Amino acid sequence: MASNSQIAFAPMGNTVVVPAAAVAPTGVQALVQGRLDAQGTGQYRIINASATVTVFLGVGSTAAEATANAVAPVAGTPSAAIVLVPGAVEILRFGRESFFSGLGASAATVYIVQGEGL
């Protein structure tokens, strides 16, 4: 593992708002700092700010791909979405130029900040 995955999470950029809605909106890009280009990936702290809405987070290399991936899985039909329960705080690793979109039963806000660490 890279040494930056062994330290506490340190934010290294601006927080990006990803709106979630009943129809997944156009994906929003959250760039990782250029100094991490050699890794090609970055760590993101992702927060579902809603107290009641589960968000199905779509991630992709384009805005359209992120939007298309924001789909709720159902029995027998898996989905590429990452499930964010209400109030979830996750640190995940994605490509450094990733786009994000969210699907929820109603409007919700997801906050994403790039950085390093757990």
b/e sequence 26-37, b meaning 16+ C-beta within 10 Å: ebbebebeeebe
Token pair, residue 64, equals 């359209």
pTM greater than 0.85: yes
pLDDT tier, 92 (very low <50, low <70, confident <90, very high otherwise)? very high
For the stretch 9-19, pLDDT in tens is 989 889 999 99
Handedness of CA 55, 78, 42, 62 (dihedral sign): negative
Token couple for 104 = 């929820």
Q: What percent of the chain has pLDDT over 70?
A: 90
